[in-house]
Structures are given as C-alpha cells and as structure tokens.
Amino acid sequence: MSVEFSGLGLILLFPLLGVLFNVFLGARFGRGAVNLVGPGVMFLSFAAAIWAFVTLLTMPSGSALTLNLWDWIQSGDFHVDVILRVDALSGVMLMVVTGVGAFIHLYSVGYMAHDEDYARFFAYLNLFALSMLVLVLASSILLMFVGWEGVGLCSYLLIGFWYPNPEFARNGRKAFVVNRIGDAGFVLGMLTIIVTLARHGVWTVEFTEIGAHAAMFSTTAATAACLLLFLGATGKSAQIPLYVWLPDAMVGPTPVSALIHAATMVTAGVYMCARLHFLFVLAPDALNVVAIIGTLTALFAATIALVQPDIKRVLAYSTISQLGYMFLAVGSGAFAAGVFHLMTHAFFKGLLFLCAGSVIHAMSGEQDMNKMGALRRKLPITHATMLIATLAIVATPGFSGFFSKDLILQAAYQSGHFGLWLIGVITAGLTAFYMFRLIFMTFYGDSRVEQDKLHHVHESPPVMTIPLIVLAFFSIVGGWVGLPDGVLWGNAFVHFLEPAAGALHPTVAASTAVLSGVGTGAAAIGFVIAYLFYIRFPGLPMLLQWRAKGIYEVLLDKYYIDQIYDFIVTRPLFFISEKVFGKAVDSYAIDGFAVGTGLAVETSGEIARRAETGNVQHYALVYLLGVIGVVAYYLFLVMR
Amino acid sequence: MPAGLFFFLAALTVLSALGVILQRNPVHCLLSLVLTLLAIGVLFIGEDATVVGFLQIIVYAGAIMVLFLFVIWLLNLPSESLATGHLALKLFGSLAAAALLAEVVPFVLPARLATTQNATPLGYGAMDSLSQKLFGEYLIAFEVTSLLLLVAVVGSVALASRSPARRTPQGTSAAAAASEPPAGEPA
Amino acid sequence: MVPLSYLLGLSAAVFAIGVAGMLIRGNILVMFMSIELMLNAVNLAFIAFARNLGNMDGQVIVFFVMTVAAAEAAVGLALIISIFRNRETVHADQLTLLRW
C-alpha cells in the first residue's frame, strides 16, 4: 500500500539548501561556515532518510511512501508528475546514499582543508547528493533520467575540479562524453518503453504502472528496451565498452572518487536494472548479455589492476570489477543479490578510497605505490581500517563482502551459468591478489618513501579518521543482514527486497557450503601468492616483470583500449568536425554563401554603375533606342 | 503651292538643318538654324497657315534666335572640331537617328497613308478663325500659357543674375566661396 | 496641292537630323539648337495634318508649341549661362556631376 509521507521532501530539501548556501554565501561566510553547512545538510538529510526508512519498516511488506511534488507534464493522454517514492529498494539505496555520503562529506572537510576552492567543492558535492537522491527516489523513469543526467554533470564538474590542469579538465570532459553515449541508449530504451505501452493505449512513465502492464511487452520489445537501457548502464556503471572514463576520473579529489565513483553514482546502473526487474525477466537474451558483459568486465578489469602502480587506479579498476559482479547477479536474475553487493561495496570501497586519500594526504600527494612502504607504524588507524576493507572485498568469511559476493556466485551457478561462475571464482582470486598487493606495497616491507616526504608522514586528523572507523564498522557488520538460509535470521535482506526487486529462482540445486568453500579457497590462493610476491620474496615481481615483459606492458597500458578508442572513434570524429564540417561546410559553403552574396551584390553593382556616366548624351542615346522600340511597336504591330 | 516651290523649300530646309548640326562655329550653326526656321515659316504660309507662318518668322526666327545669339556672344564660345569626344557615341548616335528615320518613312509613303483629303473651310488659316479658336475653345490654355511665360521670365532672370556679393570679376572659386554661407565656428 | 506624305517625310527627316545633332555635338548650345529643330519638325507635321483634315486645331497647337518653346528657350539659356559661370565650360563631356 502507498502512503503519503511529506518527510520525503526534507530529504531533498537539505542538500538543495546546501547547494544554494555554498554557491551564493559560501565565499562570504568563510571556511568555517561551509565546513559546517556542507556536511551538515547531508547529516540532516540522513536523519530524514532514517525517519522515512523506519516508517517504512513498520509497514507491511510491499508498501511504499510517496510524495507528489508537482504536476510536471500534461500533454493529451501523457501525464507525468514529479513523485518521490520510497519502497524497499529505494529505501535501501536512500540509506546508503545519505549515510555513506554524509560521512564522506565530513571526511572532505579534512581532506580539502588546504584548498582555497572549498565553497565550490561542497556546492558541487551537495548538488551531486541532490541529483543522486532524485535518481533514487524517482517514481518514474523520466524523473530518474533527470537525476541520471544530474549526477553525470556533477561527475564532470568534480573530476575536473582542479581544472587549471589541462589533463584533469580533459578527463572530466572524457567522462562526460562517454557517459553521454550511454545516455543516448538510456533515452532510446525509455522511449521504447513509452512507445510500446502507448501502442496499447497506456501512456505512463511510472515504474509501478510499467510493472502492472508488463504483459504488454513482447519479447522483442522487452529485449530491445533492456539492451538499450543496459547501454546506458554500461556508461554510468563503467562496464565494457564504456568504462574508459573511470580510471581517468581518479584525477579528481579522493572524496569524489570515494563518493561518486565507488559508492553511489556508478551503482545507478545496477539500481536501474533492479527497478525494472519485471522487464528484464521478460527478456532472457538481454539478461544473458548483461551477465556475460558483467563477468567479462570483472575479469578484464581485475587483470589490469594486477600491475598498476598508482594506488587509486588499482581501486578504480577494482570498482569496475566489482560492478561487473553486480551485473552478473542482475544477469542471473538475482537482482536483490546485486543490490546487496552494491550496499556492501559502498561500505568497503568507499572506505578503501578514503583510506587511500588518507595515505596520499600523508604522502604529500604521492600516489605511486612504488614510493611507499612500511607505513603501518606511521598510519595506524588508516592501516587498520584499510585492512578491514581489504578483508571485506576479498570476501573473508564473516565480513560483509563474503555474504554478498557469495550470494552472487551462488545465483550464477544456480541459474545455469557455470562458465560465468568459474570466471567469477578466478576473478575472486585475482581480486585477493591485487588487493593484498596494494596493502603489502603500501604498509609493509621496506620503506621506499622519498626523503623529503618522509618527515611529513602523519596520521590524519579525527575529522578524517572518524568516517574511516564508521565505514570499517559497516564493512564488517553490513553483510550480516543477508546471512545464508538457515543461519539465524537467514537472508532477511533479500526477502525484504523481494516485492521491489523480484525473488531468486534457482534452477540448479547446489550445496551452498561447497560453493562458498570454492570461492573462499580462490581468495586464499590469491592472498598466499601476494604474500609470496611482496613479503617473502620481494624480488619476485621484478623478475616476473622482466621475464614476461610483453604481457606486463599490455596489462600496464590497459590493453591499449584507450589508444584503440582514440583511433577508431575520436580521431575520425575530430577529423570530420574539423575538415568536413569546419572547412568544407562552414568555411566554404556557409561563409562562402554569406560573403559571396555580398560579393555578388557588390560586383553587380560595380558593373551596373558604369551605365551612370553623367553624360547627358549617353542618356539621350539610350532614350532614343527606347523611342525607336516604342515607335516600332506602335507602327508595326498596332497600326496594321 | 506649286510642287517646284515645295521641293526647293524642302531641300533648303534639309540642307540648312544639316548645317546646324555639322558646322563648327556655333554662330554658323545658329545662322543655319535661322535659315531653317525661315524656310519652314514659308512652308507654313504655303500650307495656308498664314498667321502661324508669320508668327514663326517674327517670333521664332526673330526673337528667340536673337536670344540664342546674345548668349553665344556673351559666353564667347570658340569653334570646336567635330572629331573630338566619344567617337563611338557619334557613330551609334548617327546610326540610331538613321534607324528612326528608316522606320518612320515607310509609314508616311503615299501607299500606306490612306487618308481622305478634306476641303479647307472658308477663312482657313486667317486671323479670324485662329482667334475664334484661341479665345473660344482654348481660352483656359491661352491664359495658362501667359502665366507660363510670366514664370519663365521670372525664372530666367533669377537663374541668370549674379548675387549681390559676386560683383568681382575674379574666377568662380572666389565667387563660389564668397557666396557660401558662413560656416562652422567663428575664427 | 502637295501630298501629305511629302510634308510628313520632310518632317521626319528634319526630326531625325535634330536627333542626330543631339547625340553628335558636344556643345550644349548646339544641342539646344537641335532641340529647336525637332520642335519645328513637329510643328510642320501638325500644320500638314491640319490642312489635310481641314481643322484649325492643328494650327492652335502650333501656336502653343511656339509659345512654350520660347519660354523653354529663355529658361534653358539662363541655365546655360549659370552653368558656364560655375564650370567655365559648356561641353557635355565635362559636365558629368551625376557620374557614379
């Protein structure tokens, strides 16, 4: 049942006020005010979200809270209102976005303490929170698209935050353009849905109504819509082929990487698929495509992460890889499992990025892990929390990641995708390797820190470490809402999401214990190899690098994908813009036409004016010729 | 009038007309014009237009041509050679004039011009009938014409007189400058 | 009785000569004289027709034409004098102020 709940408006109102304050009054009121308002409005929004969520928990399963803000579009039969809706799915997303977001805002106070542009930063961050909340709370696909575009904009603004550096600005633009390609897919998918329903006389964009009329979709229509929408998801959630913007987005401030490119924005694609689960189940081919691309992306990104020296890049590719897992879950029909991993990932990946930021902050901006080492004495809290997050991401039993990743692999196996399951297991091993490689290179071993940076290495202030501790807590505990069936309260999370995201339909019976064992075993192997490479025999990586130089270079340069895209897409496009449209069409045709018209008038005028000699006799001659003509006409034709 | 007289007068007219346009000295041109007018006047009289013919000789050849002559003497115009100027213009001009003649002449030939000759009424061309017409049918035109003459007189006096400032016999530049209204800021 | 066509032919000839004079000569006084030639040719044509049709109207027209020609001559000569005073020339080739 749906209940009107005006508190939903507060959730959006606080970030909006934050934006307005930071934009117009931030510089005037100074750093202290901005540091208070920026995170402050997020915590207030979080409080409102808790209020809404708790209210939802007291209601029967399948209920929702709604709020109709205003009438938006009225065009004949097509009627769209701006409506916010909190059901089980958006409730979970809401808590993640506001909760994790609020703590990352708090962290940013410390991280950006030396930056002059603090007001603009928090303005953008609040604007992002507002857009993401619109995306999550939207009850119609059209409103979701508004939020979708908004987060894309904020991503561009925040990646290129330090825009005076041309490379940073370029990366921001790259993110936006690649996103746009995905957005085209999203729009076409949305239109397919609208048109398919309209053909049957139903004009709507509301999720609930699309779900109610899902039977009107033929398999072809559903497949088309889902594939197009998935294209949008590959853009937003960094899957093959549109993931290329995410690694380069790491040039933005680290809190941005944590919030946008780990915890929230990149998960929008998964959320969208879960929202439209009733459509995806009608298109098995689309689901297969989603699963395959997700798994391949997971493997692909993990292989690249094995050799990256930059600490943030490792985490970026790790994010792409984990998102691949989420889409594997979606493609296996286990939408709730994907959302579960989304939530735990927000905790531990957000934490990983914040810890990385802490390390970079301590290292005076150094991001190359080859120049780190033995930092665990100097950065105890950072080390401890990052270790917790690493244990979570490699799915150590008991930590949050274990329950969510396990559920995904289980769903993949049970829906019959054995090959994909196997790739998922291998990728889990790779994940363990590169994550522990990161930990060992950064915190253990011998110190390779440069001398001038060494004395500056210190732990971060509390305003930064408190969010780390909070997120570490949830990285452990956050998965305990989804225990395997039979243990304590079982999979409460998935059952809670069932009305909104569909139920799991296992087709293959399997022993969950065995499956978990295999997954954990793979992770353990990865850990052992990392230990051997970086603690026991530190010279081993260098040796392997030298022996397998070719493979190393390919992985280091990300399979040269960026160069390939540049060659196939960017260069031809620029060529067409500059040479064809710029030169031929613009310079020659259009300018030529404009200038040519003037030139034609001028030239004809110069030629014509020669008749104006000023000599009366010339005029008389012409007059005489006219007279001859008229007389001839009169005499020969009229006077027959 | 007898045909012989007509042909003589016609030849005289054409030759003196050619003299008007072909002679170098403007005074000679004028004298040729006078001769032309006289010949045409006699042709008028021959055609029973007695009053008009005498008017032609007295007014046209007598007064107007004298006016022309005075102006030529006043301006002291020199003779000029005909070979100067736009030769192309002269060539094309002559050709065009010849073309005009060529297209009109076929229509005035007797075969084409089929009109019946009416008998002239009694008193045709005499002073009486002319006056009857002028003061009867064409009275308004007559009065307006006198007004026209008045305007012409006033106009020509206004055009040709010098303004009081320009009394000096110096060139036109000084005259033009002096006749300029006082311009700009006072020096 | 002189046939009408002879007189008209004479009129046309004198008119053509006047036209040619307009175009050939550069001295504007001579051009003016050519105009007078044209006027007189037309007068001759009118008289010829008047006699042919037995109507006095043709002679009245000639009367008026003569009057107007006189007025026109007066004003035109005054203009020529004025031009000569300003430009020191009466040759048409040098009076091209209306040139582009």
Cβ within 8 Å, pair A617-C19: no
Q: Which residues of A touch C30 (CB under 8 A)?
A: none
State residue B82's pLDDT score.
62
Q: Distance between CA atoms of A429 and A424, rounded to whole angstroms?
A: 9
Percent of all residues in chain B with a pLDDT value above 70, rounded to a whole number: 80
Report yes or no: A617 at the B interface, CB cutoff 8 Å.
yes
Interface residue of A604, A613, A617, A621 to substitute, partner C, most C CBs within 10 Å: A617
**Separation in Å, CA of B2 to nearest CA in chain A:** 31
First-to-last C-alpha distance (Å) of chain C: 55
Integer-rounded Cα Rg, in Å, for chain B is 24
First-to-last C-alpha distance (Å) of chain A: 101
pLDDT in tens, A204-255: 888 888 888 888 888 888 999 999 999 999 999 989 889 899 999 999 899 9
Alpha-helical runs (H) found in A560-591: 561-565, 571-575
Q: Say if CB A155 and CB A166 are below 8 A apart.
A: no
Nearest to B101 by CA among B40, B8, B17: B17
User: How far, rounded to the nearest angstrom, does the alpha carbon of residue A279 sit from its chain's CA centroid?
Assistant: 22
Nearest to B59 by CA among C74, C29, C55: C74
Q: Tokens for A574?
A: 């620029």
Interface residue of C1, C6, C7, C17 to substitute, partner B, most B CBs within 10 Å: C17
Report yes or no: A195 at the B interface, CB cutoff 8 Å.
no
Q: Say if CB A393 and CB A434 are below 8 A apart.
A: no
| Most confident range, picked from A355-359, A478-482, A489-493, A503-507 | A355-359
H or E element that contains C98: none
Q: Within a domain: residue B149?
A: no
Residue A526, CB-side half-sphere exposure with 13 Å CA sphere? 29
Q: Say if CB A322 and CB A428 are below 8 A apart.
A: no
Count of domains forming chain B: 1
CA distances to A143, A174, A177, A580, B130 from A155, rounded to whole Å, are: 19, 11, 11, 32, 107
State residue B110's pLDDT score.
66
Nearest to A361 by CA among A456, A469, A470: A456
Q: Distance between CA atoms of A323 and A340, rounded to whole angstroms?
A: 12
Average pLDDT over residues A171-193: 92
pLDDT in tens, C8-65: 999 999 999 999 999 988 888 999 999 999 999 999 999 999 988 888 899 999 999 9
Q: Is the pLDDT of residue C78 over 60?
A: yes
Q: Say if CB A147 and CB A132 are below 8 A apart.
A: yes
Percent of all residues in chain B with a pLDDT value above 90, rounded to a whole number: 48
Percent of all residues in chain A with a pLDDT value above 90, rounded to a whole number: 39
pLDDT in tens, B111-122: 666 666 777 778
Cβ within 8 Å, pair A639-B104: no
Q: Within a domain: residue B180?
A: no
Neighbouring chains of A at 3+ CB pairs within 8 Å?
B, C
**Residue from the list A621, A631, A639 with its beta carbon closest to the beta carbon of B93:** A621
Q: Within a domain: residue B157?
A: no
* Parallel/antiparallel/unpaired status of strands A64-75 and A2-4: parallel
Q: Say if CB A376 and CB A383 are below 8 A apart.
A: yes
First-to-last C-alpha distance (Å) of chain B: 77
Average pLDDT over residues A485-509: 72
Q: Say if CB A230 and CB A273 are below 8 A apart.
A: yes
Residues 77-106 of B with CB under 8 A from A: 86, 89, 92-93, 96-97, 99-100, 103-104
- Cα-Cα-Cα-Cα dihedral of B28, B30, B35, B37, to 10°? 170
Q: Distance between CA atoms of B181 and B36, rounded to whole angstroms?
A: 47
Q: Tokens for A276?
A: 């439209």
pLDDT class of A558 with cuts at 50, 70, 90 = confident
Residues near A551 by beta carbon (within 8 Å), at least 6 away in sequence: none
- The one-letter code for the residue type at C76 is G
Nearest to A432 by CA among A294, A525, A537, A297: A525
Assign residue B8 the CATH number of its domain: 1.20.120.1200
The pTM of the full predicted model, rounded to 2 decimals, is 0.70
State residue A326's pLDDT score.
93
Q: Within a domain: residue B72?
A: yes
Q: Tokens for A295?
A: 């798994």
Q: Say if CB A394 and CB A528 are below 8 A apart.
A: no
Average pLDDT over residues A423-451: 88
Neighbouring chains of B at 3+ CB pairs within 8 Å?
A, C
Cβ within 8 Å, pair A617-C96: no
Q: Say if CB A351 and CB A342 are below 8 A apart.
A: no
Nearest to A84 by CA among A70, A66, A63: A66
Cβ within 8 Å, pair B100-A625: no
Q: Which has more confidence, B129 or B174?
A: B129
Q: Distance between CA atoms of B172 and C86, rounded to whole angstroms?
A: 6
Q: Distance between CA atoms of A200 and A188, rounded to whole angstroms?
A: 19
Q: Distance between CA atoms of A3 and A62, rounded to whole angstroms?
A: 12
Q: Within a domain: residue B144?
A: no
Q: Distance between CA atoms of A521 and B95, rounded to whole angstroms?
A: 116
Q: Within a domain: residue B21?
A: yes
Q: Distance between CA atoms of A392 and A400, rounded to whole angstroms?
A: 6
Interface residue of C15, C17, C22, C79 to substitute, partner A, most A CBs within 10 Å: C22
**Separation in Å, CA of C27 to nearest CA in chain A:** 11
State residue B186's pLDDT score.
47
Average pLDDT over residues C84-92: 85
Cβ within 8 Å, pair A621-B96: yes
Average pLDDT over residues A154-170: 91
Q: Is the pLDDT of residue A301 over 70?
A: yes
Q: Within a domain: residue B124?
A: no
Q: Say if CB A499 and CB A87 are below 8 A apart.
A: yes
Residue A535, CB-side half-sphere exposure with 13 Å CA sphere? 15
Q: Which residues of C touch A615 (CB under 8 A)?
A: 92-93, 95-96, 99
Cβ within 8 Å, pair B93-A639: no
Q: Tally Cβ neighbours within 10 Å of residue A50.
A: 14
Alpha-helical runs (H) found in A207-283: 207-212, 219-236, 245-248, 254-258, 268-275, 277-280
Nearest to A210 by CA among A311, A119, A282, A111: A282
- Angle of helix A268-275 relative to helix A219-236, nearest 10 degrees, comes to 160
Q: Is the pLDDT of residue A165 over 70?
A: yes
Cβ within 8 Å, pair B96-A624: yes
Q: Distance between CA atoms of A616 and C23, rounded to whole angstroms?
A: 9
Average pLDDT over residues A520-528: 87
Q: Tokens for C52?
A: 């042919």
Residues near C31 by beta carbon (within 8 Å), at least 6 away in sequence: A616, A617, C21, C22, C25, C92
- Closest chain C residue to A618 measured between Cα atoms? C23
State residue B175's pLDDT score.
45
Average pLDDT over residues A143-166: 92
Q: Distance between CA atoms of A44 and A32, rounded to whole angstroms?
A: 18
Q: What is the DSSP string of A592-627?
A: HHHHHHHHHHHHHHHHHGGG----HHHHHHHHHHHH
**Residue from the list A610, A616, A624 with its beta carbon closest to the beta carbon of C92:** A616
Q: Say if CB A372 and CB A416 are below 8 A apart.
A: no
Report yes or no: A610 at the C interface, CB cutoff 8 Å.
yes
Q: Tally Cβ neighbours within 10 Å of residue B87.
A: 10
**Residue from the list C6, C40, C88 with its beta carbon closest to the beta carbon of B40:** C40
Q: Within a domain: residue B134?
A: no
H or E element that contains A85: strand A78-86
Q: Say if CB A102 and CB A39 are below 8 A apart.
A: yes
**Separation in Å, CA of C40 to nearest CA in chain B:** 8
Domain that holds residue B22: 3-110
Q: Distance between CA atoms of A37 and A30, rounded to whole angstroms?
A: 11
H or E element that contains A444: none
Q: Tally Cβ neighbours within 10 Å of residue B9.
A: 20
Cβ within 8 Å, pair C18-B17: yes
Interface residue of A613, A621, A638 to substitute, partner B, most B CBs within 10 Å: A621
Q: Distance between CA atoms of A518 and A510, rounded to whole angstroms?
A: 12
Q: Distance between CA atoms of A264 and A102, rounded to whole angstroms?
A: 12
State residue B182's pLDDT score.
46
Q: Is the pLDDT of residue A479 over 90?
A: no
pLDDT class of B83 with cuts at 50, 70, 90 = low
- The one-letter code for the residue type at C77 is L
Residue B64, CB-side half-sphere exposure with 13 Å CA sphere? 27
